[in-house]
Amino acid sequence: MLKWARRIFVFLLLGAVVNVALAWGCVFANGDVSRRDHLYRLSSDPDYFRVVSVTRRAGFSYLVESVPWRSSPKVRELLPFYPGTHWWRHWPMYQVQGHGHIGCGWPMHTFGATLIPDPDVAVVMASLSISPRLRGGLASDEKKVTNPRTGKIPMILPYLPLWRGFVTNSLFYAGLVGGAHALRAQWLRDRRVKRIQAGRCPACNHPRGTPPVCTECGEALPC
Ligand SMILES: [Zn+2]
């Protein structure tokens, strides 16, 4: 019982490690978003959108919130939603102008960070270069953080856990690690049986003789 509990704990730990490594790996793979032109512009729609631009690749999302009005159905199509909720943090509607949200992780987002521009919305709208505060992330170059509305941001490593995604992903990878371990154990058992049946040492596959231990590796041989 204790052995099983310990084993499950190790699998969960490994699952969490794989989850974190993959989430941050996605950030490094995507690097500096500012040099890429993959922002979806949703402003062609006459309605106001809560989200104006989205960069989305496997395991990585960057979105900018704009004039808070109402969520568009288009936003729902484009963005990864957890069942019924946004993966990014909720802010009071009057505060979200120009907020940039960075999420990373796969299959769900594990970590999130938020770029919060100057509280003066007029300044944000007029300025080409501002210094937003970064919450929940590390920036590769703080000075390069400019207007998030233009998409010019440095590489940001989010570290605030999005618990729903963190737990789901960790369980997912723990399951994979556990499954791989079970397959390997089964393969080792099958190989041992086959070697014994073929009259060979189960450990090193050396043909066995009459002594009770293997002459090659010293393994005790079953009679
Ligand atoms: Zn042997």
206 CA to middle of ligand 1, Å?
Answer: 5
In a domain? residue 2: no
In a domain? residue 194: no
pLDDT in tens, 169-223: 999 999 999 999 999 999 999 999 999 999 999 999 999 888 889 988 988 888 7
In a domain? residue 36: yes
216 CA to middle of ligand 1, Å?
Answer: 5
In a domain? residue 183: no
Report residues near ion ligand 1: CB below 5 Å. Answer: 201, 203-204, 206, 214, 216-217, 219
211 CA to middle of ligand 1, Å?
Answer: 12
pLDDT in tens, 122-156: 444 444 445 567 889 988 766 555 544 454 567 88
183 CA to middle of ligand 1, Å?
Answer: 23
Domain that holds residue 77: 21-162
114: left (phi > 0), else alpha (psi -120 to 50), else beta?
beta
3-state DSSP call for residue 80?
coil
Nearest alpha carbon to residue 105 among 142, 56, 154, 65: 56
H or E element, residue 101:
strand 100-104
How many structural domains compose the chain? Answer: 1
